[in-house]
Amino acid sequence: RKEVEQDPGPFNVPEGATVAFNCTYSNSASQSFFWYRQDCRKEPKLLMSVYSSGNEDGRFTAQLNRASQYISLLIRDSKLSDSATYLCVVNMDSSYKLIFGSGTRLLVRP
């Protein structure tokens, strides 16, 4: 079983739609959680951290469910520019080592 699992997609949605991605992780002792965004042929960049209380940044909302060991990312009012691959990232043991999921691809169409 992979340490961090994501649905690879692609999720193909119209502009203005709401879309949600889930990610599951295997280590219940995991400490920190993140969503990174990677545009085609570009490097990954931090989108947002995920806190136990959940957090929101504009149209983006991230939530953590420790009991079920999953994190989610909700994107409201999708824009064409949201088209990218979204990487779920977990720090499992408070070290500097991050575990990356293989990503969920989002395509937003006009």
Partner 1 sequence: DVKVTQSSRYLVKRTGEKVFLECVQDMDHENMFWYRQDPGLGLRLIYFSYDVKMKEKGDIPEGYSVSREKKERFSLILESASTNQTSMYLCASGTSGGDEQFFGPGTRLTVL
SS3 call for 59: coil
Q: Which of 21, 103, 106, 108 binds partner 1 (CB under 8 A)?
A: 103
Alpha-carbon distance 38 to 46, whole Å?
Answer: 9
Q: Taking CB under 8 A as the rule, does residue 66 contact partner 1?
A: no
With contacts defined by CB under 8 A, how many residues of the chain interact with partner 1?
19
Give the pairing of strands 11-14 and 104-109.
parallel
Q: Which is nearer to partner 1, 19 or 88 (CB)?
A: 88
> Using CB under 8 A as the criterion, what x/- string covers residues 24-53 for binding partner 1?
--------x-x-------xxxxx--x----
CA distances 44 to 17, 20, 69, Å, are 24, 19, 23
Strand partners, 27: none
Residues forming the site for partner 1 (CB under 8 A): 4, 8, 32, 34, 42-46, 49, 87, 91, 96-98, 100-103
